[in-house]
Amino acid sequence: MNLSRPTTLIILAAFFVCGSFARSSAQAQESFRIAYGGYNETAGPMWIGIEKGFFKKYGIDASMIQVRSGALSVVAHIANEVDAVWPALSTVLSTVSGGVKLSCINSPTHKIPRNLIVRKEITTVEELRGKVVGVQSIGGGFWLQTMIILDHLGVDPDKFGLKVRVIGDGPVIAQALLTGNIDAAALTYALSEAPLKAGFRSLADAAELKAPYQGPGICALKESIASRPEFYLRLTRALAEASAFILDSGSKADVVKILQRNLRLSKADDGEASYKVLRRSTTLDLAPNPAAWKAVQRIVAKVNPKIAQVDLDQILDSSFVRNLEASGFLAEQRKKVK
């Protein structure tokens, strides 16, 4: 086909315009790196937001970077290696008590999806006295969830003479329980299956407890959030859409695949179990929960008394979630939940 010179010039011009637009669109995606320490379903809303394109929808090229612990994730953020952190509340309180100013703006997790698994000889809470409890690190998310469960059961670790031992991550702790190196551990539902089949007991399903709880969410240096309010509002919108996607039963197949990929689960049953955990613990009530933070502050202050002096009002920033509530955005997301 022969084209006239004017027609050719028009096509070439259109080509360059389209190419320029595509480049500008790609450039418009703002990079956002967030570090996390807990290798479990609590990272699910972020994984879903990334892989299903909810962050890209709002011009954000998000990625999650795993580190060994929540404390290391905060160090990476302070060093400007990452833009934000996805930490346990205990990690935030410890960091702020040391003089670092952090703000936390949301969290999509409101239940602890764990069983308190104990050796078969332990049949009551009273029989925990003097026993060894396994955790990932002192002050981290695993430790915190364990302490919240014990607190709700009326167990004071000091008065009960509990020996809290740092073992490793979840699978290592589960193995330590099976081999008799520890007596109890707060394990995820998936990790609880092998001990339960082996005759171990569950003293409590933490998701059934009425204690106020809030899991990891987006936290960053206070000055960083204050300097980019529009950006963090878009982040919160994307996280809300990801949470709604999780809570929509029609999205189950996609959510299971993403969990299997990120948690490296080879068995379909494990993917199914992780899905149940994520769906059960996810909420669209994303605002920081002062009652949950106060409960954590009380528990963590026993390890670090300085934490009792932390002003929670200087950490919790509900303005982004309030904005989405006032605009009707979250109400629209709730309509998607089936």
Q: Using one digit for the tens of pLDDT, what is the confidence trace for 58-72? A: 999 999 999 888 888
Residue 207 · residue 112 · CB < 8 Å: yes
* Tokens, residue 21: 């637009």
The side-by-side arrangement of strands in the sheet containing 201-205 is 163-166, 132-135, 184-188, 114-118, 201-205
Q: Give percent helix, percent strand, percent coil of the chain, each to the nearest 5.
A: 55, 15, 30
**Mean pLDDT score of the chain, rounded to an integer?**
89
Q: What is the fold of 114-208?
A: D-Maltodextrin-Binding Protein; domain 2 (3.40.190)
Residue 138 DSSP label: T
Domain 28-110+214-335 shares a fold with domain 114-208:
yes
Instruction: Tell how strand 163-166 and strand 132-135 pair up.
Output: parallel
Q: What is the β-pairing status of strands 102-104 and 163-166?
A: unpaired
Residue 26 has pLDDT above 80, yes or no: no
Q: For 34-38, 123-127, 139-143, 301-305, which range has the lowest pLDDT when averaged over its residues?
A: 139-143
pLDDT at 20 over 80: no
Tokens found for residue 286: 């994303």
C-beta separation of 293 from 212 below 8 A: no
Q: What is the pTM of this model?
A: 0.82
| Residue 20 or residue 300, greater confidence | 300
Q: How many C-alpha atoms does 58 have within 13 Å on its Cβ side?
A: 20
Instruction: Give the alpha-carbon dihedral of 100, 103, 107, 111, to 10 degrees.
Output: 50
Which H/E stretch holds residue 336?
Answer: none
pLDDT of residue 79: 95
319, 308, 318, 320: which is closest to 96 by C-alpha? 308
Average pLDDT over residues 299-322: 95
- Checking if the pLDDT of 260 tops 60, the result is yes
Q: Rounded distance, CA 111 to CA 121, Å?
A: 28
Tokens of 154: 């009326």
Backbone angles phi, psi at 210, to 5 degrees: -90, 0
pLDDT band at 5, cuts 50/70/90? Answer: very low
User: Can you say whether the dihedral through the CA atoms of 143, 63, 44, 245 is positive or negative?
Assistant: positive
- Enter the tokens of residue 25: 């669109």
Residue 110 has pLDDT above 60, yes or no: yes
In this predicted structure, what is the pLDDT of residue 266?
86
> What number is the average pLDDT over the span 182-209?
92
Q: Give domain limits for the chain.
A: 28-110+214-335, 114-208
The single residue listed with the structure tokens 């999650």 is: 64
Task: Return all residues near 56 (Cβ < 8 A) that are at least 6 apart.
Answer: 29
DSSP classification of residue 175? H
Res 137: pLDDT = 85
Backbone phi, then psi, for 34, in 5-degree steps?
Answer: -125, 130
Do 242 and 52 meet the contact criterion of CB atoms below 8 Å apart? yes
Give the tens place of pLDDT for each residue, 34-53: 999 877 889 999 999 999 99
Q: 260: which 2 tokens?
A: 């299997």
State how beta strands 114-118 and 184-188 pair. antiparallel
CATH class of the domain whose range is 28-110+214-335:
alpha beta
